[in-house]
Amino acid sequence: MNKTKPIIIRGKQKDSHEDHKSHGVWKIAYADFMTALMAFFLMMWITSSMSENIRKGVATYFAPVGASANVAGTSSILDGGQSLEDVGALDKMKLEQSIFSPTTNYNASPKNKATDEPTSTESYDNKGSKSEAESAEKEQHVFEEAQNALKESILKDPALQQMSENILISITSEGLKIELIDKNNTNMFAVGSKQMLPNMQLALRQIATIITVLPNKINVTGHTDARAYGANAAYNNWDLSTDRALESRRFLVTSGFPESKIASVVGKASNDLLDSKDPFASSNRRISILVLRNGSIEEGKKQ
């Protein structure tokens, strides 16, 4: 009688030592990953907490030779010594707002920190005058930086360069004055209208980029030449100059300029001619933007 031969299946028993070895590899990889992740977040935290000047120094240290420029040693008051010519660095000007904000009350009698008693009025007045003079000097420096930044931005942009004679920039006793005038057949607005032309929009947008970071308020004023509308016209130069000033204000605000920093919007018709010798000169048609000195703002409040 034939007996069925049993089938024997032999399996190799797994070495328990090898099994433990393979299971531990992922733990090492995960630990390395977590260590690297913590180091990354630590580096980001340290970088975000350091000053802009230190960050630039670190970036310059690791940059390839010849790929970075040394910005230290300039006369600029901004962090890192950068000039306002670099429009991207203008945000640093916000840090200077406390310098120009007239927060000190010079009429009040200050107290001595040690005795909590009022100091002498004479001593306080001297300190107050000195502080005012320092603030005025720093404000003048900032106006000069902003003036240079505006001129540089005009020279660097081919479109603005073509209208360089249409943009007048000066520093007066009242503040930084920027005037956009009609000249050389280049108009800022459509004839007899408040419709702003592309040239005006381009220039006004660039101006807004720079003056936005200044803490000072501005006045916007519209001017026309002496050429009058018809005798029976319902619209006149007063309306035109005011409408153009208002349109300029709207465009500045849409370009990012804070509306809270606009002190006044005025139309003067032909009462303040740029070229008094020729009342009909095209240069008399203009928009003036005056960045006010803080002294001018305070005087206006008193009046």
Q: What is the mean pLDDT of the chain?
A: 76
Which of 78-83's residues contact partners 24+ apart within 8 Å by CB, and which partners?
78/145, 79/51, 79/52, 79/53, 80/52, 80/53, 80/56, 83/145, 83/148, 83/149
In a domain? residue 237:
yes
- pLDDT band at residue 29 using 50, 70 and 90 as cut-offs: confident
| Report for 127-136, 206-215, 226-235: range of highest mean pLDDT | 206-215
- Output the pLDDT for position 54: 67
Asked if the structure places residue 271 within a domain, the reply is: yes
Q: Residue type at 88?
A: G
CB atoms < 10 A from the CB of 244, how many?
Answer: 26
SS3 of residue 255 by DSSP? coil
Sign of the CA dihedral 151, 67, 89, 83? negative
Residue 89: closest CA among 77, 106, 100: 77
- Residue 220: give the domain boundaries: 164-302
This prediction's pTM: 0.59
CA angle 267/279/229 to nearest 5° reads 60
pLDDT of residue 170: 95
In a domain, 129, yes or no: no
Q: Is residue 191 part of a domain?
A: yes
User: What pLDDT was estimated at residue 195?
Assistant: 95
Q: Which of 76-85, 146-155, 290-299 shows the lowest mean pLDDT across its residues?
A: 76-85
% of the chain at pLDDT higher than 70: 62
Instruction: Give residue 42's pLDDT band: very low, low, confident or very high (50, 70, 90).
Output: confident
**Which among 139, 110, 74, 114 has a CA at the least distance from the CA of 298?**
139
Does residue 198 surpass a pLDDT of 50?
yes
Q: How much is the pLDDT for 32? A: 87
For residue 21, what pLDDT band results from cuts at 50, 70 and 90? low
Residue pair 159/191 in contact (Cβ under 8 Å)? The answer is: no
User: For residue 131, what are the contacts with CB-CB under 8 A and spacing of at least 6?
Assistant: 104
Name the most confidently modeled range: 62-76, 133-147, 211-225.
211-225
**Amino acid 257: pLDDT:** 95
- What local confidence, expressed as pLDDT, does residue 113 receive? 45
In a domain, 226, yes or no: yes
Read off the pLDDT band of 44 (50, 70, 90): confident
Query: pLDDT tens digits, residue range 155-173?
Result: 988 889 999 999 999 999 9
Between CA 248 and CA 182 the distance in angstroms is 15
The SS3 assignment for 167 reads strand
Q: What is the CATH number of the domain that holds 202?
A: 3.30.1330.60
How many structural domains does the chain have? 1
pLDDT at 105: 39
**Which tens digits make up the pLDDT trace of 92-132?**
444 444 334 443 333 444 445 444 454 444 444 555 566 77
* Order of strands across the sheet that contains 175-181: 167-171, 175-181, 286-292, 218-223, 262-267
- What are all long-range contacts of 36-45, with beta carbons under 8 Å and residues at least 24 apart? none
DSSP letter at 113 equals: T
pLDDT score for 296: 56
Q: Would residue 215 count as lying in a domain?
A: yes
Looking at the domain assignment, is residue 64 inside a domain? no
pLDDT at 143 over 80: yes
Helix/strand/coil for 35: helix
- Mean pLDDT on 198-203: 94
Residue 207: pLDDT above 90? yes
* pLDDT value of residue 79: 40
- The set of residues, in sequence order, having a beta carbon less than 8 Å from that of 287 and lying 6+ positions away, is 179, 180, 188, 200, 220, 221, 222, 223, 244, 245, 248
| pLDDT value at 176 more than 80 | yes
Average pLDDT over residues 261-266: 96
Residue 121 to residues 110, 111, 128, 129, 222: CA-CA distances in angstroms? 8, 11, 10, 12, 45
Report yes or no on 131 lying in a domain.
no
